[in-house]
Structure 1
Amino acid sequence: MKQAVNKTNARYGEQTQFANLAPATVTKCDSPLPVLIENSGSAAQFAWEEFIYGKIRNPHTRAAYERAIRQFLSHCHALDKQLPTVSPRDVGSYLDQRDYAPATKKLHLSAIRHFFDTLVTRHVVVLNPAHSVRSERLQVVEGKTPEITVPQARRLMWSLNKTHVVELRDRAIIAIMIYTAARVGAVASLRRGDFYDLGDQYCLRFAEKGGKSQEIPVRHDLQKFIFDYLTEGGMEYADKSKPLFRTTIRKTKKLTQNAMTAGDMARMVKRRLRKASLPARLSPHSFRVATITDLLSQGVPLEVVQNLAGHADPRTTRLYDRRQHKVTRNIVERISI
């Protein structure tokens, strides 16, 4: 009898312990479910969580798709529609009513189409109403990101005083984006251990989009820029798991232990562009455009540049090529009207 009571108490203690831990360990979504999903039962709710939180791993894609689907479901709710009664006409009219750019409409249609595929799989709806809907034709021959010219990039680098650790940090960040064509997000993700010696050369290891890892050799001037920053910041022998580029305590010019985010780096670049009296429309991605265009202009094969840029498709690399799509002032001055 005593053993049975002890077992019961032990089980009760485990349950109590689990109950006490539950609020701290279980994470709930802050945003409520869309009304149509909530009204459609547990299968629809499961499909929602499966698609938003299970299938989409990239946080930026997840945010964009969730926003698009919520807007469409709100539109359907206003029309007094239920999920099984949504038709291709509803999807098409929704897109027609939106004053969005063609690329944005394509994103919304893609989000709706993939979400309803999940609803079909979970037997919430019979057919996907977005499957037969076509978006506007969109042919992109050149990216929208403005290119920073070689003289402008040199001017920006020369504008850095290089007198303290913040200047050295910013110079190293900008130089990495120029000399590796890395995305600002990949630069922000760098850890101290991602800059290492292979014996005959130093390399940087980037965590790129799609979970890919890329190792890029470091040229000698870039190597010096990084070491100047590490030496001044006392980070030569820092823990390999620590962030390579760190924030500062306001205007004290003292580094913290916190990593700079991609947003921090973008604001830093804007600040440096302003200080160098360069166009405000330029951005961190402008360095990537300039590097790719510069290499292609020198006759480097497209597939080699594609590999450096980390593109899966050469057509993506061509979007960064600004050699053949420039309209010069000399052309428009020759119009004889």
Structure 2
Amino acid sequence: MELPAGPDGALVAATRQIAAWAAGLPGLPPDDGSRYSIRRLTVAWNLESWGRSRHTAVAHRRDLSTYLDWCVRERLDPLDARPTDLSQFAVWRELGGGRAAKASTVARALASVSSWYTHLVANTDGRVARNPVAAVKRPAVNAHTSRTAGLTLDEVDLLLAQADAELANRTERWREAPTPARHARYLAALRNRALLRLLADLGLRISEALDRDLDDLTSNAGHRTLRFRAKGGDSRERPLPAHTLEALDEYLAARAAAVDRSVDPLSGPLFATTGSDGQLGRLAEPNVFVWLRALAKAAGIASAGRLSPHSLRHAFATGARQAGIPLEDVQDAMGHADPRTTRRYDRDRHNLDRDPAHELAKRRASRRTSPTASNGAA
């Protein structure tokens, strides 16, 4: 497949990666060199997903690979699959498949495979005539609860304090003996603290944070802001609070000093890694999982082994609602199309202290004791 022309290195790299993945997929016809071969259409399908959300594109690749592996084991041509075959695949994923999957995982896998079939139906001139997933009943997923491990606001504060402590320790050790290795760990501690504050203060998805480049930092209406592409491909812009800016500015200043320049000319990923060859790379999501859980363990948080960056997003929604922020404002900040999704993120929504009965009783008592109520009764 020809690579797209132009200066967008990220797009070229993604196309190469996706093309290599598609070339190795089992159970599909060989690439015949035509523009609309199954494998090239599969590349185009995943690249479209990548343009909307890199996280979704990765999930699609993983789910389709699992499905096609299953087809090979079942001696099934995926291009001739029927709804009954997809139902069997769903059962295999839910009850076995090497490791039993949650209903939400099975539903996501079916959605990925369905998206792939829909793309083939639209582009193969009848070679794939129908989407067999369309007639398959999806597993029921409770839209009002979440299995993400939660964090209380006190626990978020403990995480933030632990990140500060680790940075102080790295700073002291680097100043005592300024070796390249210690300087790298100092820069990593600055970066990690800035990322943690960004996730805690803005409630971003981890992919939204890690996909950012330095030129996504900008200003608007007197605010320093971060522009990003949200889930679904929507372009968003959020203001950066002082707590986040303090950590970001310190990290970027140290990163610029390391290459003997000012912050303005810096380019590349916002949250970067440095390879052994000195080249900048993008911090990877699995590394954040490992670091966050280690940080939580050091902070004494009981659920440390189950935490994920998404736990901070849940804590953001809960904290905002506890602070009295209207649901619609929290919904807008989190980029949810449906307020029910925002409510699912609010861990405190079942708190009995928030029951409207309390406020109604207080107002009723106030009416009974007010002069107007007394005069009316006379």
Q: What is the TM-score with the length of structure 1 in the denominator?
A: 0.73
User: Equivalent of 1:209, from 205, 215, 231?
Assistant: 231
User: Equivalent of 1:158, from 150, 157, 161?
Assistant: 161
Q: What is aligned with 1:277?
A: 300
DSSP 3-state at the match of 2:138: coil
Preserved contact between residue 29 and residue 39 of structure 2 (Cα < 8 Å): no
Deviation of 1:289 (Å): 0.8
User: Equivalent of 1:169, from 182, 191, 199?
Assistant: 191
Q: Within 5 A, what are the aligned runs for 1:1-337?
A: 29=20, 31-35=23-27, 37-38=28-29, 46-54=37-45, 56-58=48-50, 59-82=54-77, 86-98=81-93, 99=95, 100-121=101-122, 122=124, 123-159=126-162, 160-161=164-165, 162-163=167-168, 164=171, 165-166=186-187, 167-198=189-220, 200-234=222-256, 237-247=263-273, 257-278=280-301, 279-280=303-304, 281-325=306-350
Letter in 2 for 1:133: V
Greater share of helix = 2
Write the distance in 1 (CA, Å) between the matches of 2:223 and 2:31: 60
Letter in 2 for 1:105: V
- Give CA deviations for 1:255-278 in whole Å, capped at 9, x if unaligned: 974442333333332232222222
Write the distance in 1 (CA, Å) between the matches of 2:286 and 2:274: 14
Write the distance in 1 (CA, Å) between the matches of 2:42 and 2:205: 27
Bigger mean CA offset, 179-188 vs 283-292: 179-188
- Give CA deviations for 1:201-225 in whole Å, capped at 9, x if unaligned: 3222233333333222222233222
Bigger mean CA offset, 172-181 vs 205-214: 205-214
Q: Which 5+ residue runs of structure 1 have no aligned equivalent?
A: 1-24, 328-337
Aligned Cα RMSD in Å? 3.5
Deviation of 1:146 (Å): 1.7
Preserved contact between residue 228 and residue 237 of structure 2 (Cα < 8 Å): yes
Preserved contact between residue 256 and residue 266 of structure 2 (Cα < 8 Å): no
Letter in 1 for 2:24: P
Deviation of 1:317 (Å): 1.5
Q: What is the TM-score with the length of structure 2 in the denominator?
A: 0.66
Write the distance in 2 (CA, Å) between the matches of 1:115 and 1:260: 29
DSSP 3-state at the match of 1:206: strand
- Give CA deviations for 1:2-21 in whole Å, capped at 9, x if unaligned: xxxxxxxxxxxxxxxxxxxx
Letter in 1 for 2:336: H
- Give CA deviations for 1:19-67 in whole Å, capped at 9, x if unaligned: xxxxxx99553543533x3289899972443144336422443444344
Deviation of 1:181 (Å): 1.1
Preserved contact between residue 192 and residue 243 of structure 1 (Cα < 8 Å): yes
DSSP 3-state at the match of 2:341: helix
Deviation of 1:153 (Å): 1.6
Bigger mean CA offset, 204-213 vs 278-287: 204-213
- Give CA deviations for 1:252-301 in whole Å, capped at 9, x if unaligned: xxx97444233333333223222222232222211111111111122211
Larger Rg: 1
Deviation of 1:229 (Å): 2.7
